[in-house]
Chain A
Amino acid sequence: MNHSIIDYKELRALISVGTSIIQETNLETICQRVAEAVVKYSKFQRSVVSILEPDGTLRRVGFGGLTDEQITKLKQMKRSTMEEKKNIFSDKFRVGQSYYIPHDQVSLEGLKSEKEYSPNHEWHPDDFLFIPLYSIGGEIVGMVSIDDPVDGRRPTEEGLLPLEMLANQTAASIENSRNTKKLQEMLVKLREQQKVVMELSTPVIRIWERILVLPLIGTVDSSRAMQIMENILIRISETESAVVIIDITGVPIIDTLVASHLIKTVAAVKLLGADTIITGINPEVAQTLVHLGVDLKEITTKANLSKGIEAALDITGLTVTSKDS
Chain B
Amino acid sequence: MPRISSIDSRRSIVNQKIPILKIKDYLIVPIQVDMDDRLALQLQMDILKQIEKCNSRGVIIDISVIDMVDSYLGRILGDTARMAGLMDARVVIAGMQPAVAITLVELGLGLEGVYTALNLEAAISLLEELLDKDAA
- Give A contacts to B, CB under 8 Å: 229-230, 233-234, 236-237, 240-242, 264, 267-274
Contact = CB atoms under 8 A, between A and B. Distances in A.
Nearest to A264: B105
A241 B122 CA distance: 11
Contacts of B123: 273
A273 B118 contact: yes
B98 A237 contact: yes
B122 A237 contact: no
A230 B96 CA distance: 14
Interface of B: 93-98, 100-102, 104-106, 110-111, 116-119, 122-123, 126
A307 B103 CA distance: 31
B110 A233 contact: no
* 5 A-B pairs with least C-beta separation: A233-B98, A273-B117, A273-B116, A271-B101, A268-B101
B97 A237 contact: yes
A274 B110 CA distance: 14
B126 to A, nearest CB: 8
Nearest to A235: B98
Contacts of A270: 110, 116
12 contacts: A229-B102, A234-B98, A236-B118, A237-B97, A237-B98, A240-B122, A242-B118, A264-B102, A267-B110, A268-B104, A272-B98, A273-B96
B72 to A, nearest CB: 17
A51 to B, nearest CB: 26
B98 A240 contact: no
